[in-house]
Structure 1
Amino acid sequence: MTAAPAPLPSPIRNWLSTRGWVLHPHQRAMLDAAADPATLLIAPTGGGKTLSGFLPTLAELTAAPRAGLHTLYVSPLKALASDIRRNLQAPITEADLPIRVEDRTGDTGATARKRQRADPPHILLTTPESLALLLSYEDAPRIFAGLQRVVVDEIHALAESKRGDQLMLGLARLQSLCPGLRRVGLSATVEDPAAIARFLACHPDPCRILQADPGPAPDIALLEVPQRPPWAGGGGRYAIPAVLEAVRAHRTTLIFHNTRAQAELFFHDLWLQNDDALPIGIHHGSLSREQRSRVEAAMVAGDLRAIVCTGSLDLGIDWGDVDLVIQVGAPKNVKRLVQRIGRANHRYNAPSKARIVPANRFELVECHAALDAVRDGTLDGDPRGPGPRDVLCQHILVVACAGAFDADALFAEVTTAGPYAGLGRTAFDACLDFCATGGYALRAYDRYQRLQQRTDGRWQLRDPRAARQIRMNLGTIMDTDTLKVRLRGRGGAPLGEVEEAFAATLTPGDTFLIGGQIVRYEGLREMTVEVSRRGGDTPKIATFMGTKFATSTQLSDRILTMLAQPDWPDLPGHTRDWLALQRRVSHMPRRDRLLIESFPHDGRAHTCAYGFAGRNAMQTLGLLLTQRMEEIGIGPLGFVATDYAVLVWSVDPLTDPAPLFQGDDLRAGFETWLAGNAVMKRTFKASAIIAGLIDRQSPGQRKSGRQATFSSDILYDTLRKYDPDHLLLQITREEARRGLVDFGRIEEMLARTRGRVDHVVLDRVTPLAAPLFLEPGRVPVQGAGAEKLLAEAAARLIETAGLPA
């Protein structure tokens, strides 16, 4: 039974009136749609999305006060849940509404979590992981009794990862516990509303899509910088004087970077050039919670003039009086750029102001393409595939923790979740069998026997004590193997975390950057990196993994369209001259043809392939090409890849590149390469952890990254040998193809070029290829080519010494 549309009770009307606020049309439309089974609201940043989502709840609870949980709010970020609680508390307190709001995330204390289970608030703000944990308890039916509405904020961000799949399975469970549950999705950046609506709805129920007036166009342009961008690199250091000038001219500026390491470097250099001692902070996911909280509090208080940040501040948090956003480096994704732009002038009737700083010369072209896309209102995004089965396996274990279940009923429930609407019964049963036995090769091991079937046909945990272990390992976020960093000494302050692999390279006395300060490595104690502030001036750089973005397919298409133009009047003169020279001495890359350049340099033959398939795919292409070149005897020595090209150097020149780019041969080479590659083991580890085969944590201890990798490597090798069609190996192959190596983008490149190759042979490096020689991340190839060079060098040495051959 669904509720009737909720009119606004007088306390809320009076509160709006005292503020001088009038509801926007889309907010009224949300009230009218209050009884719909699912509603997706797409409204610009600052358009009151949060209030839109909660208005029906506030109206219903004010008109008919009641005890128990009424509305569940789910966000991708813990900080966003806390921010929403602060914002919701204003109307509730000022209008004296009988409503209790609390948040429940990984930061919530044990006492509060226990109380919330016993006495849930009217509105609970949480994350997908905390929701899964709540659903795993035996008293979940009592906790969620009477739940009327679920609000999913920033739904586009959740839909792009396994956290979204986990959430939709959780909502399917909630729908079974609470028939008539209504769903609301909120977002400012949705490229395919119909797809997100299908993702959100309880299949086959419909989902109403409401689109608000987009408001004024953003004020967005490249930051004016007197210096030319460098030919390569990603830090944007050359633009720091211009960035500081922009910071001085605004109240609060967010300076976004694509990686945590780049944010640390930029913050360090920015501080060194900050002669006016402007208060500037840094915020990213590898910093300690305490340090992030201090920065957030200073932002809210308006005490900071600028914050160097990463995706940790991408989403809808309203921090202080931000009136300028600066994006350093090409955004790689138009949707992400729009999201970041919206952090400035967080008001519906005010245009957001943003400036972009290209980190290098080619990024200048990419940034212009991104600007055009924003002005055209065109977003990007790849179609979602079916829901991943490792997440489904975890969900089956979550359900089992809460009590015995019927397989037929659970299958029917799971297929109401958008990502799993097309799941077949055979695939579901394979996941159930994996959860019960571990699969054919592992069923003899007692530790993998997690479920058993009762005489009444229902399934339950084989050992009820396993529920604690399952709960400790819930979640789909794959933490990089990291170690905590703390100041040395009793009660030393936590600073954040660094990768375990990076920590392994440190020796006492080494220095590195974290939180914008240079620290000195003193030693490792109980899996904690101990440091002092005696850092000096020249740091090493902590290798924060974070998220490494690849240029989206749609943005790559725009770049190729730009390059095909006869002239580029909107680009700076130095960039126009560079592109014009490329056109004169070689060809310009085209969307429907693959440009391959061959030229000598520094005594080596070089081949440059312009695929515009994104960094991960071009890196994979480099590995496949060098493998094929090794097979035909050219002697590849190494390669380097960017988002748009891969450059290979070899002993002998490549005379006919076309056979190397035949689709069937590339696919066969890819499968052969992938089967024994470390990428597969890394992917297997992630899926095995999500599916519950490998534990990240156990009571009183946590595995180090090396321990977990060692365990997963043994399992991977065992399954490959004895059970090559094991469910987890199937999942691993699927995940590897679309994830770490992005082979789908190579397939897309092959489809649009259809074997059409332009091979240009030149006597020198070409203008577009030149920046690749300056790129970091060169990958050496050890093979016949390297052996041939060594043999030639040895022969020359023997001849020079006058010795007989």
Structure 2
Amino acid sequence: MSRLPPPLADWIAARGWRLHPHQQAMLDRADEPSLLLVAPTGCGKTLAGFLPTLAELGPKPGPGLHTLYISPLKALAADIRRNLGAPIEGAGLAIRVEDRTGDTGAHIRRRQRADPPHILLTTPESLALLLSWPDAPRIFAGLQRVIVDEIHALAESKRGDQLMLCLARLERLAPGLRRVGLSATVEDPPALGRFLACHPQPCAVLTADPGPDPDIAILDTETPPPWAGGGGRHAIPEVLDQVRRHRTTLIFHNTRAQAELFFHALWLANEDALPIGIHHGSLSRETRERVEAAMVAGALRAIVCTGSLDLGIDWGDVDLVIQVGAPKNVKRLVQRIGRANHRYNAPSKALLVPANRFEVVECLAALQAVRDRTLDGEPRGPGPRDVLCQHILVTAAAGPFGADALYAEVTTAGPYAGLSRPAFDACLDFAATGGYALRAYDRWRRIMLRDGQWQLRDPRSAQAIRMNIGTIIDTETLKVRLRGRGGAPLGEIEESFAATLTPGDTFLMAGQVVRYEGLHEMTVEVSRSPGRDPRVAVFNGTKFATSTLLTHRILDLFQQSRWPDLPDHTADWLALQRKVSCLPRADRLLVESFPHDGREHLAIYGFAGRNAQQTLGLLLTKRMEEQRLDPLGFVATDYATLIWGLEAVTDPAPLFDPTRLRDGLEGWLAGNAVMKRTFRASATIAGLIERRHMGQRRSGRQATFSSDILYDTLLRHDPGHLLLAITREEAERGLVDFGRIEEMLARIGGRIDCVRLPRVTPLAAPLMLEMGRVPIEGAGRQRLMEDQAAALMAAAGLG
């Protein structure tokens, strides 16, 4: 059990503060080898994580690194350094706290390696880079504790897998290392504990008082939500009214493009000239920092934002959160709600704004899940092997290693506890040769075995390995800057969007309309162009799929006899659907067929999430082609796929045969661009493709060209290559999400309700209005052209 040093205890007492029970418990259980603290936002969980460190270091600590703090965000590390400064300086503790991220200067990083601080605040990528240096054993020899903040966010990405491999290495360099995980949103604490702990050690879980229920509701609007799309702009008057009534409001969106559109519309309607900012990941660092500084100073009444403000930075006096669009994920919603009233035992206040009519139902399901304290989360798969390949190269950059020792070390990392030795050896062989088809090329033969130890074939390659550390894949983007000497940077847009621009075109960036002037040295130069109708930059923001938990709750809502919690316009819509057809159920698949506008339509209500429903559309139209049903196209949402064509489907059951769908997926993936896109990401992480060469970032086109050639070469000459196997796993789990299709098929157990109707149904009508239609170039399209040609010739008297 640790006790606070008297100066710190006196400093706390002088302010009339007392430790919360979970903070005292963290002190009492400081010797636990692994400890996960689950505590609501605003209850001081980060300080709770540091209290044992402050107690152990005392007023006059000796030299050397004692504690590593790791967060998903660079800005969060800097924020923690500011917050820790108050008790350390106030109590007169001689504790050095520094952060080390991609923004830290080279001279400071060199000094930190030679003379590390007592507490180092960093990110997974910067830790991996530190571990790649030969002097890592000296730097970390005295390390006592690692604190992983917002661990739930890291556990959901490859950054978390990389971090756990790094912790396995730290455990070897500093035996007896204690691990602490901090999170406010954990759906399965034991599972997250297994992710954090050094396998096979157990992880203790400490749960704080969850505090009061949040004050959360759906925003009432005079104008009903549109039937499809919308982006929430129908609610602009009511949102502005809420901004006027509160000190600071965060207005969250799910994508960056939606945030830009909403901010633009909000600003045009802002007749009171309320100070409003915008914050998202495609904006320049300078722009984001200006907004953050204004938030801290209390100078903004509202900030339109995305996931860039999801995590635990306490920027200012936020007393309201508005979520525009269905949150898609209960855990994400809880995280965002926690940004409001960032204080212990103070209820957070939040409003949900459905962007369209169906999202009213989804928002109600999410609201009820929050009130029931039910969180969602998909089961984690095994640790990805492309991350392991990179870790092997990083280990080699630090010095020679033995295969047996490294395998034993890797399997202590939670995500890799079940890794087989043949799977490990395949990754080791890849690092040594590049694989069968590439072993003749020196550039991919990076490590070799000498005297029983694996080491770099060329020591100079360590620099290239370090420049390419990380699992975040750079998008193909170009910088955007105002034209003129010293023009201010605004942010980034995707290369594919920039390629469509001609001088004079306008688009939204950083909340303002800008005019494209030209491309200069790979930078998009623009000028301000107010008062024009803009296009919208194509930001590479994530399009979230509705979680399995939320879809099940929606399906449960459908089975209610009436819906008193829904607004009348939505309840009447569902009642009409039940009257003319039926509502989808969890244990059955509803398939509707009907004619409309001279085409036959098939609506499949799978509730499998957007990616899976999109994949389902591709696979089903392929099956329909084989059955000569002549499909012409499809569109997908989170809850349904709508297919249109020339022939009616009388019996849809054969279309959903699991074996046939799996076979169709295999054939489709073999020649699809999804695989090349996924291959490029995995090959970059694994080290086959460099994202930076000789200190220079390679352009997106260069990287794509290289990866496409490699993919085609491996597919032709080495179809069993490790990277192709990894690519298939990643494609099925990510962009394709075939697992959700399999979950749907297992859930319905072959029970399909096919309803034939004379016209479009209430539930299918919004699907007809959806953007993103995918045309099918097949026999149906050819048949249409032939019919149109025959009609034209007949009209001309040539039939």
- TM-score normalised by L of structure 2: 0.99
Tell me if structure 1 keeps the 8 A contact 2:516–2:525. Answer: yes
2:629 aligned partner? 634
- Taking the aligned partners of 1:627 and 1:713, their CA distance within structure 2 comes to 25
**Deviation of 1:652 (Å):** 1.2
Helix, strand or coil at the partner of 1:680: helix
| Residue ranges of structure 1 left out of the alignment (5+ in a row) | none
Q: How big is each residue's C-alpha offset from its partner over 1:63-106, in whole Å with a ceiling of 9 and x where there is no partner?
A: 56111111000000111111111111111111111111111111
**Deviation of 1:204 (Å):** 1.0
**Deviation of 1:654 (Å):** 1.1
2:644 aligned partner? 649
Counterpart pick for 1:779 among 750, 769, 774? 774
1:732 aligned partner? 727
- Taking the aligned partners of 1:556 and 1:241, their CA distance within structure 2 comes to 30
The 5-angstrom pairing of residues 135-284 of structure 1 reads: 135-284=131-280
Helix, strand or coil at the partner of 2:58: helix
Tell me if structure 2 keeps the 8 A contact 1:621–1:746. Answer: yes
Tell me if structure 2 keeps the 8 A contact 1:595–1:610. Answer: yes
Q: Which amino acid aligns with 1:167?
A: L
Tell me if structure 2 keeps the 8 A contact 1:254–1:307. Answer: yes
2:91 matched to 1:95?
yes
2:505 matched to 1:510?
yes
**Deviation of 1:626 (Å):** 0.8
2:452 matched to 1:451?
no
**Deviation of 1:489 (Å):** 1.8
Tell me if structure 2 keeps the 8 A contact 1:404–1:458. Answer: yes
Q: Which amino acid aligns with 1:221?
A: A
**Deviation of 1:234 (Å):** 4.4
The 5-angstrom pairing of residues 115-130 of structure 1 reads: 115-130=111-126
Counterpart pick for 2:356 among 346, 351, 360? 360
The 5-angstrom pairing of residues 58-97 of structure 1 reads: 58-62=54-58, 65-97=61-93
Helix, strand or coil at the partner of 2:761: coil
Q: How big is each residue's C-alpha offset from its partner over 1:635-654, in whole Å with a ceiling of 9 and x where there is no partner?
A: 11111000000000101111
- Taking the aligned partners of 1:704 and 1:178, their CA distance within structure 2 comes to 40
**Deviation of 1:681 (Å):** 0.6
**Deviation of 1:534 (Å):** 3.0
Q: How big is each residue's C-alpha offset from its partner over 1:262-309, in whole Å with a ceiling of 9 and x where there is no partner?
A: 000000110000000000000000000001001001101111000000
Tell me if structure 1 keeps the 8 A contact 2:60–2:94. Answer: no
Q: Which amino acid aligns with 2:174?
A: C
1:710 aligned partner? 705
Helix, strand or coil at the partner of 2:542: coil
Tell me if structure 2 keeps the 8 A contact 1:511–1:535. Answer: no
**Deviation of 1:145 (Å):** 2.2
2:374 matched to 1:378?
yes
Counterpart pick for 1:463 among 458, 468, 476? 458
- Taking the aligned partners of 2:418 and 2:79, their CA distance within structure 1 comes to 36
- Taking the aligned partners of 2:182 and 2:405, their CA distance within structure 1 comes to 30
Q: How big is each residue's C-alpha offset from its partner over 1:167-221, in whole Å with a ceiling of 9 and x where there is no partner?
A: 0000000110000110000000000000000000001112110000001110000
Tell me if structure 1 keeps the 8 A contact 2:478–2:492. Answer: yes
Counterpart pick for 2:583 among 588, 592, 596? 588
- Taking the aligned partners of 1:535 and 1:425, their CA distance within structure 2 comes to 62
- Taking the aligned partners of 1:535 and 1:747, their CA distance within structure 2 comes to 49
- Taking the aligned partners of 1:101 and 1:636, their CA distance within structure 2 comes to 63
**Deviation of 1:387 (Å):** 0.2
Identity %: 77
- Taking the aligned partners of 2:83 and 2:55, their CA distance within structure 1 comes to 17
Counterpart pick for 2:398 among 395, 402, 406? 402
1:602 aligned partner? 597
The 5-angstrom pairing of residues 679-758 of structure 1 reads: 679-758=674-753
- Taking the aligned partners of 1:376 and 1:175, their CA distance within structure 2 comes to 39
**Deviation of 1:481 (Å):** 0.9
The 5-angstrom pairing of residues 783-798 of structure 1 reads: 783-798=778-793
Tell me if structure 1 keeps the 8 A contact 2:71–2:148. Answer: yes
1:327 aligned partner? 323
**Deviation of 1:701 (Å):** 2.3
Tell me if structure 2 keeps the 8 A contact 1:520–1:535. Answer: no
Q: Which amino acid aligns with 1:763?
A: P
Q: How big is each residue's C-alpha offset from its partner over 1:553-581, in whole Å with a ceiling of 9 and x where there is no partner?
A: 01000000000111111111111110000
2:433 matched to 1:437?
yes
The 5-angstrom pairing of residues 402-551 of structure 1 reads: 402-454=398-450, 456-534=451-529, 536-551=531-546
- Taking the aligned partners of 1:207 and 1:534, their CA distance within structure 2 comes to 56
Tell me if structure 1 keeps the 8 A contact 2:287–2:490. Answer: yes
Q: Which amino acid aligns with 2:686?
A: A
- Taking the aligned partners of 2:144 and 2:122, their CA distance within structure 1 comes to 16
**Deviation of 1:536 (Å):** 4.2
Tell me if structure 2 keeps the 8 A contact 1:612–1:645. Answer: yes
Q: Which amino acid aligns with 1:272?
A: L
2:565 aligned partner? 570
Tell me if structure 2 keeps the 8 A contact 1:218–1:351. Answer: yes
- How many residue pairs get matched? 799
Tell me if structure 2 keeps the 8 A contact 1:234–1:262. Answer: no
Q: How big is each residue's C-alpha offset from its partner over 1:462-488, in whole Å with a ceiling of 9 and x where there is no partner?
A: 011111111111100112211111111
- Taking the aligned partners of 1:491 and 1:120, their CA distance within structure 2 comes to 37
2:655 aligned partner? 660
Counterpart pick for 1:290 among 286, 289, 303? 286
Helix, strand or coil at the partner of 1:355: strand
Q: How big is each residue's C-alpha offset from its partner over 1:363-392, in whole Å with a ceiling of 9 and x where there is no partner?
A: 000000000100000000011000000000
**Runs of 4+ with deviation above 2 angstroms:** none
- Taking the aligned partners of 2:15 and 2:417, their CA distance within structure 1 comes to 45
- Taking the aligned partners of 1:626 and 1:398, their CA distance within structure 2 comes to 45
- Taking the aligned partners of 1:404 and 1:56, their CA distance within structure 2 comes to 35
Q: Which amino acid aligns with 1:596?
A: V
| Residue ranges of structure 2 left out of the alignment (5+ in a row) | none
2:313 matched to 1:317?
yes
Tell me if structure 1 keeps the 8 A contact 2:7–2:59. Answer: no
2:556 aligned partner? 561
Helix, strand or coil at the partner of 1:190: coil
Q: Which amino acid aligns with 1:352?
A: S
Tell me if structure 2 keeps the 8 A contact 1:234–1:329. Answer: no
**Deviation of 1:225 (Å):** 1.3
- Taking the aligned partners of 2:473 and 2:220, their CA distance within structure 1 comes to 39
Counterpart pick for 1:26 among 15, 19, 22? 22
User: Which sits farther off after the overlay, 112-121 or 529-538?
Assistant: 529-538
- Taking the aligned partners of 2:147 and 2:322, their CA distance within structure 1 comes to 30
- Taking the aligned partners of 2:15 and 2:785, their CA distance within structure 1 comes to 78
